[in-house]
Amino acid sequence: MDERAPILRTEGLSKHFGGLAAVREVALTCRVGELHAVIGPNGAGKTTLINLLSGDLPPTSGRIAVAGNDVTGLPAHRISRLGVGRSYQKTNIFLPFTGFENCRLAAQSRLQPSMRFFAPAHAHAPTRAAAERALAMAGLEGRADVVAASLSHGEQRQLEIAMTLATAPRLLLLDEPLAGMGAEESAQIVALLKRLRADHAILLVEHDMDAVFAVADTLTVMVDGAVLATGAPDAIRANRAVQEAYLGSGEAENVSS
Amino acid sequence: MSAASPGRRASVAGAAVLLACLAALLLMPLGVDKFYVQLVTKMMIMAVFAMSLDLLIGFTGLVSFGHAAYFGVAGYVLAYAAPQYQAASLWVSLPLAMAVSAFLALVIGLFVLRTSGVYFIMVTLAFAQMLYFVFHDTKLAGGTDGVYIYARPDAALGEWAGGWKPFDLENFVHLYYVVLALLVLTWIVLRRVLDSPFGRVIAGIKVNEPRMRSLGYATFRYKLASFVIAGTLAGTAGYFAAAQFGYVNPDLLGWHLSGSAIMMVILGGMGTLGGAALGAFMMMLLELLFQGLTKHWQLLMGCSIVGVALLLPHGLLGTVAAWWGRRATTGDTERTDG
Ligand SMILES: Nc1ncnc2c1ncn2[C@@H]1O[C@H](COP(=O)(O)OP(=O)(O)OP(=O)(O)O)[C@@H](O)[C@H]1O
Ligand SMILES: [Mg+2]
């Protein structure tokens, strides 16, 4: 396959909840080496868009292709197995398990064949290594043995990202990874995103505009479910319609989250 | 990982208790009457049944209210497999009974696992009751009265082994040890399965199934596999129950027995294999005790269940384990593995 062909491509993607069009006619692409940020006010449909891409929700209409294959309507686990990893805005982890077990379980999902009944799970070295790598990448190396429920809110956010990384995805769908993190952890994750970008395609939904403008190669602005503008960060910053609808008077920081 | 000494100490204590129980069970037939040997045989059969249900309730998060179906059907398989007044071969009829309960669990699982929560409870019950009425209302196998199994399964090996008979199930001590072996084997198999990658997946499904799906797990298949393993083990228990009792009747697959099994699991502590086994022993001991006291023993039984539910919300073993954990743990860094 062509190196530069997008790993993710959507066309006319829409989702209706009853009468509410949460996502309308969204077309976007994302390729390896690119960090594509999606921004927009609360309720713009960003999370719904990610739910469609990950298969958590079926679209009402439109198409989604991953690496050239039509995945529209496939269940979440099939899409995940194609190398699509997502994190959740609302922390979605296994609270009774340790941080390590959360990531080990995520890494184990890549085993082929996946159903194994006899050898002890903890004896599988490659899975353990993948879990430890993911924990370290998200800055949790010292906290592996702590039960997730006992982690601080910020650490749980880091664990959310670590689990996503542990499934070794090519395409990352990150829903507000920095929300709820302290400044130091945020900076760490931003640095991580810059490193990951080299060999991943990343779709990032984020309210922290400093972070977004620091890492994004492409920006898409969503308002009321529809794409208002797509382009390079500088072009978006200069875009009149965006300024009026979303960024305010060029002051991005006052966007609430 | 780090040297988790509280966890290590708890598991050493657990292993010691387990070995003590095993030693007691091994020695028991040497010192007591036939009545008690037979009683404990029955208890161990019920312990296997309860552990199989705990795989669903305690470890996969599936509250099946129709688990007696697999237990009873396997008993009927033995009844059918035995020629009248003659013994069926253990080596043919046992695998057959296990295969039939596995197949039944597979078919029923394909339907019931499309539901969840209260609907799952209801649909598992409905399937089991359907089977109950198949045996109850038709002349398939004696209707309400059931059928007698005149001879216990024959353990003689084939011609190739010169017809050698390693044990004789008509002998109550032999039956006892065979059932004890079954109990230990079931425990080992379930322990291994729970520690395997598969076991970790069902534990994850119990905690957060949607997240398991988004991590790439086809959760339906895992739940189905768990359902089939549980059904097969329940069938194995039912087979030996039929062999011991010497008869089968529709009650062996009725909702009453399904409910008792749930109570055993809850009484002992969901999600601990030892707890389910302990619950089975406790239930049957209490039953015996209360039956000796009054003919309204069911009332006393009900009261004790309510008492356990209120006072020991994690069951007998769960409460002891939690107490031990609190005593032994100093920090907040406690490990949990199923
Ligand atoms: N499952 C659902 N059922 C009905 N309506 C929904 C559902 N999920 C989202 N919505 C609605 O769709 C719209 C878009 O919501 P969404 O969560 O995608 O916004 P968002 O851009 O992620 O917002 P935020 O920045 O607050 O996270 C909102 O009006 C929301 O109420
Ligand atoms: Mg959102």
Task: Express each pLDDT in B148-205 by its tens digit.
Answer: 788 888 888 877 777 788 888 889 999 999 999 999 999 999 999 999 999 999 999 9
The 3-state DSSP class for residue B216 equals coil
Give the pLDDT band of residue A252 (cuts 50, 70, 90).
very low
Of A20-24, B266-270, B304-308, the one with minimum mean pLDDT is B304-308
pLDDT at B3 over 80: no
| pLDDT above 50: residue A57 | yes
Helices B255-268 and B118-137: angle between axes, nearest 10 degrees: 140
Strand ranges (DSSP E) for chain B? Answer: 147-148, 247-248
Is position B102 within any domain?
yes
- Within-domain flag for B288: no
The predicted structure's pLDDT at residue B5:
58
What pLDDT score does A3 carry? Answer: 58
* Cα(B127) to centroid(ligand 2), Å: 42
What local confidence, expressed as pLDDT, does residue B326 receive? 72
Whether the predicted pLDDT of B333 surpasses 50: no
Q: Per-residue pLDDT averaged across B26-52, rounded?
A: 94
Total residues belonging to chain B: 338
What is the rounded average pLDDT of the residues A156-165?
A: 96
Question: Is B218 near chain A, with CB under 8 Å?
Answer: yes
CATH 3.40.50.300 spans which residues of chain A?
A: 1-83+169-257
Which candidate in A88, A102, A108 is best for mutational testing of the B interface (most B CBs within 10 A)?
A108
Q: What is the DSSP string of chain A?
A: --TTS-SEEEEEEEEEETTEEEEEEE--EE-TT-EEEEE-STTSSHHHHHHHHHTSS--SEEEEEETTEE-TT--HHHHHHTTEEEE-SS----TTSBHHHHHHHHHHTT-SS----SS-GGG-HHHHHHHHHHHHHTT-GGGTTSBGGGS-HHHHHHHHHHHHHHT--SEEEEESTTTT--HHHHHHHHHHHHHHGGGSEEEEE-S-HHHHHHH-SEEEEEETTEEEEEE-HHHHHH-HHHIIIIITTT--TT---
Is the distance from the beta carbon of residue A230 to the nearest atom of ligand 1 less than 6 Å? no
- Structural domain that includes position B42: 31-255
Is there a domain that residue B296 lies in? no
pTM across the whole model = 0.91
| CB contact (8 A) between residue B201 and residue A145 | no
| CATH architecture for residues A1-83+169-257 | 3-Layer(aba) Sandwich (3.40)
Residue type (1 letter), A231:
G
**Stretch B33-58: mean pLDDT:** 96
Give percent of chain A with pLDDT exceeding 70: 94
Task: Find the Cα–Cα–Cα–Cα dihedral B98, B99, B103, B104, rounded to 10°.
Answer: -40
**Is residue B280 situated within a structural domain?**
no
| Residue B202: inside a domain | yes
pLDDT higher than threshold 70 for residue A204:
yes
Nearest CA to ligand 1 atom 29: A43
Q: CA–CA separation, A38 vs A29, rounded Å?
A: 11
Cα separation of A97 and A121, whole Å? 14
In this structure, of A107-121, A139-153, B92-106, B251-265, the range with the lowest mean pLDDT score is A107-121
**A29-30 and A226-231: which strand pairing?**
unpaired
What local confidence, expressed as pLDDT, does residue B311 receive? 85
Number of domains composing chain B: 1
- The mean predicted confidence, pLDDT, of chain B is 88
Instruction: Place A250 in a pLDDT band, splitting at 50, 70 and 90.
Output: very low
Q: What is the pLDDT of residue A156?
A: 95
Sort strands A35-39 and A218-223 into parallel, antiparallel or unpaired: parallel
Encode pLDDT of A61-85 as tens digits: 999 999 999 999 999 999 999 999 9
pLDDT of residue B90: 86
CA angle A175, A180, A184 (to 5 degrees): 105
A45 touches ligand 1 (CB under 6 Å): yes
Q: How confident is the model at residue A249 (pLDDT cuts 50, 70, 90)?
A: very low
Between the CA of residue A69 and those of A2, A63, B52, B70, B214, what are the distances in Å?
14, 10, 42, 43, 19
Ligand 1 geometric centre to CA of B33 (Å): 70
Burial tier of B322 (Cβ tally within 10 Å: 0-12, 13-18, 19+): middle
Q: Select the more confidently predicted residue: B1 or B225.
A: B225
